[in-house]
A and B are shown apart, each in its own frame.
Chain A
Amino acid sequence: MATAADLDRPADSVEAFREEARAWLAANFDPALRGQDNAMSAVDGPSAETDAQRKWREAMGEKGWGVPTWPRDYGGGGLSRAEARVLQEEMAKIGAWNPIGGMGVMMFGPTLLEYGNEAQKSEHIPRIARGEVRWCQGYSEPGAGSDLASLQTFAEDKGDHYLVNGQKTWTSGGQWADKCFALVRTDKSQKHAGISFLLIDMTSEGVETRPIRLISGASPFCETFFTNVKVPKENLVGREGQGWEIGTRLLQHERNSLSGGSGSAARMNAGRTVPEIAKKYRGADAEGRIADADLRTRIIKHEMDQRAFALTLRRAALEAKGNAGPSAATSIMKNVGARITQDRAELNIEIMGMQGLGWEGEGFTPAELEQTRTWLWGKAVSIYGGSSEIQNNVIAKRILGMLDHQ
């Protein structure tokens, strides 16, 4: 079905692009890389890049197709949404994955394109497009979680630079990041209006990261300490005091990507489905159905929820006009995506019984051990990027116009 955005581009030119994409991918994607993934954005940290992986990243980076819809002037692909969709389809056909990823692509890049000045865009966007820089997010603090605007990390005006002091937490990939986009306080007298959006080099003197061990055993997050860190004034994005506006815009991009809007749901579904796992571990009845009737009903409900969500993501993509970007409706998608991810993991460990609760060692298959960790890690999904409760606040206030107590 055609969308408004597609109508201004004749279908045959999109199909001509398909040929171009197919030919370029055939020439540049090494089939031996199938089934691998972007080394830079793995939850457990970047693994060493193989030569073949590096070649693929460089080729995609040069072409700008890792960020297909970003403007060509800043190293993006300059593709229309229709062409980007074709590219994604052609990549999926041959098992090619996007080697350009991470927070720079998902959140920071789109935000900087909107709010950054020319010098900032020219410096940062092309390097994100080529996958050369790892960005991390300096938002949450020990005392500022859901109430993010109460953050205290202070950037003191020292003339030509800011002097930053404070502590951030839940810094995803902070221990591996080159740079950090951070919300800092430049004015202590105002809550929201005292916040600014600052870019901090993680190699600066006075920056220290400590990984946090999670219930899943992994340490994808850090505590990050800033002690008398000097940050040049030109690293301020927008105006002083505009940080809350820019920061919440970035969160919409984050929710959009977390909801599976950019295809991560499809990746999570790779491998066996819940019904397949149920038949393997719990057996089938005489009709070939999942034997336990109550479990079967709950699995069917889950599968239907997932189907309705997939239709909703498709509908949202078709309805998105032009490049207006994500809206408050992404809060809805984030909550449903979180619910489905967690339901799936809970069903899987229930189905597998004790075999689905192994921690390590003998007697468990790798898939079983991974299931335990996936289940535990999945508890973060309804907390990070704004908890489900915060998303409900956003839906009630921004979409439904329900206001606070007066």
Chain B
Amino acid sequence: MAALNEEQVMLRDMAREWADNESPVTAFRKLRDAGSATGFDPEAWSAIGAMGWAGIVIPEEFGGSAFGYLSLGLVVEQLGRNLAATPLGATAVAASAIVMGSSDKAKKDWLPRLASGEAIATLAIDDGPSHDMKFTASVDGGKLSGTKPFVAEGDGADAFVVAAADGLYLVAKGEGVTVSTRHMADSRSHAAVTFKHAPAERLGDTALTQAIVDRAAAVTAAEMLGMAESAFRQTLDYLKQRVQFGQVLSSFQALQHRMAKMLTELELMRSAVEGALEAIDAGRSDVDQAVSLAKAVANDTLRLVSREMVQLHGGVGMTDEFDAGLYLKRAAVLETMWGTASWHRDRFGRLNGY
């Protein structure tokens, strides 16, 4: 845990309590089994709005609290522990794009509604199945055209922050926007979004696109941190109660050492993730490096822990009734979003001139 101030400690504890009481994994299961159209529970989302979490990175003049990214990460991490299905991360980072962008109109129109949770926004960035920062969407006379095949939280979004070849734009749902649901392994909201001469408000150039993608990657890494911690704890609890050969599994040294290795990697993961969030808040010039470090380490660690969760649960880990599969499937999606470990290692190397 980074050195947190009092507000941050309160926020973290409150988010943890809320997630455990109001949004346990069973809530996500229920949503999945009901085949929710938007991919989230509107009641849970309005509670999140009421608690002010959607406004954590929005300035106070627009109804937010401006606590910053470390605070946002703490909340997202707690929700990630229980696989809470909410558009919080997507909405917050999309709001950041408006905050950092150049359009006063967009700020006035959208930020108060995003801060209160009344509206939902998301990022429509990548052009293909892999993150590569190459964009073809174009804007002509204030109208944007292009296709984004994998937009997380796209089903329920009221506004899209869209990466075009020359920078970042804000597009409201409606005229020229077609959203079609994609069914992904993680049972969360993903949509293909097509923009055809959709009215677009310019937010900034490609430097803003990069800054927003870095923020999205850092917040995703925070969600992954919560997932990894929780997957690890659940596995540990299971090893302590499952008996074979007349012994609890946790007494076998081969398993003890695998758990010790995972705990070690989790420590490095927390440092890297919090380091990136702190770098964003401090406005440091090496946010790009800090984020690539965080996402690469988060990817490697969550991959290790989520795969081990299945393996160490044995046969029951393969059943839908146990939660291991839910963590595994969400992990694989988040490992892919905003860049794989190898993509970020390559970027880290380039940034350092290696």
Q: Footprint of B on A, CB under 8 Å?
A: 1-4, 275, 278, 288-290, 296-297, 299-301, 303-305, 307-309, 311-312, 314-315, 318-319, 329, 332, 335-336, 389, 391-393, 395-397, 399-406
Contact = CB atoms under 8 A, between A and B. Distances in A.
28 contacts: A3-B3, A278-B354, A288-B353, A289-B353, A296-B354, A299-B349, A300-B349, A300-B352, A303-B352, A312-B270, A312-B271, A315-B1, A315-B2, A319-B1, A319-B3, A332-B263, A332-B264, A336-B267, A392-B261, A396-B253, A396-B260, A399-B263, A400-B236, A400-B250, A400-B260, A402-B250, A402-B251, A403-B248
A361 B222 CA distance: 53
A51 B304 CA distance: 55
Contacts of B264: 332, 335-336, 395
A3 B5 CA distance: 9
Given A3-B3, A332-B263, A311 B271 contact: yes
Contact of A300 (B250, B263, B269, B354): B354
B345 interface: yes
B245 to A, nearest CB: 9
Contacts of B348: 300, 303-304
A304 B253 CA distance: 29
A361 to B, nearest CB: 33
B270 A315 contact: yes
A304 B296 contact: yes
Contacts of B260: 391-393, 395-396, 400
Contact of A402 (B240, B274, B350): B240
A275 B268 contact: no
A281 B36 CA distance: 58
B297 A304 contact: yes
A296 B255 CA distance: 33
B253 A312 contact: no
A134 to B, nearest CB: 33
Given A2-B3, A311-B271, A406 B251 contact: yes
B139 interface: no
Interface in B334-354: 342, 345-346, 348-350, 352-354
B293 interface: yes
**Chain A interface, DSSP helix/strand/loop, else mixed:** helix
B324 interface: no
Contact of B349 (A289, A389, A391): A289
A291 B256 CA distance: 40
B250 A403 contact: yes
A301 B264 CA distance: 16
B268 A312 contact: yes
Given A308-B272, A311-B272, A335-B264, A289 B354 contact: yes
Which of A275, A300, A391, A401 gathers most chain B CB within 10 Å? A300
A312 B261 contact: no
Contacts of A399: 263
Contact of B2 (A1, A288, A303, A304): A1
A391 B259 CA distance: 12
A393 B352 contact: no
A402 B346 CA distance: 38
A1 B70 CA distance: 13
A318 B2 CA distance: 7
Interface in B146-205: none
A314 B275 CA distance: 10
B247 interface: yes
Contacts of B236: 400, 402
Which of B236, B256, B296 gathers most chain A CB within 10 Å? B256
A336 B268 contact: yes
Interface string B1-19: 1110000000000000000
Contacts of B345: 297, 300-301, 304
A101 B342 CA distance: 42
Interface of B: 1-3, 236, 239-240, 247-248, 250-251, 253, 255-257, 259-261, 263-264, 267-272, 274-275, 278, 293, 296-297, 342, 345-346, 348-350, 352-354
Contact of A308 (B293, B342, B346, B349): B293
Given A289-B353, A290-B354, A300-B348, 17 more contacts: A275-B352, A289-B354, A296-B354, A297-B342, A297-B346, A301-B345, A304-B297, A311-B272, A312-B270, A314-B271, A315-B2, A319-B3, A336-B264, A396-B259, A401-B240, A405-B247, A405-B251
A200 to B, nearest CB: 35
Given A396-B256, A401-B240, A332 B267 contact: yes
Contacts of B255: 402
B271 to A, nearest CB: 4
A26 B68 CA distance: 41
A403 B251 contact: yes
B3 A1 contact: yes
A304 B289 CA distance: 10
A393 B271 contact: no
A290 B239 CA distance: 44
A346 B182 CA distance: 46
Contacts of A315: 1-2, 270-271, 274
B280 to A, nearest CB: 14
Contacts of B272: 307-308, 311
Contacts of B256: 392-393, 396-397, 400, 402
Contact of B350 (A289, A299, A314): A289
B218 to A, nearest CB: 14
Nearest to A5: B3
B251 A308 contact: no
Nearest to A404: B251
A332 B261 CA distance: 9
Contacts of B2: 1, 315, 318
Given A300-B348, A396-B257, A311 B275 contact: yes
A307 B293 contact: yes
Given A275-B354, A319-B1, A393 B268 contact: no
Contacts of A278: 354
A400 B250 CA distance: 10
A297 B272 CA distance: 19
A290 B345 CA distance: 14
> Top 5 closest A-B pairs, CB basis?
A396-B256, A395-B260, A311-B271, A392-B260, A312-B271
Contacts of A297: 342, 345-346, 349
A312 B257 CA distance: 21
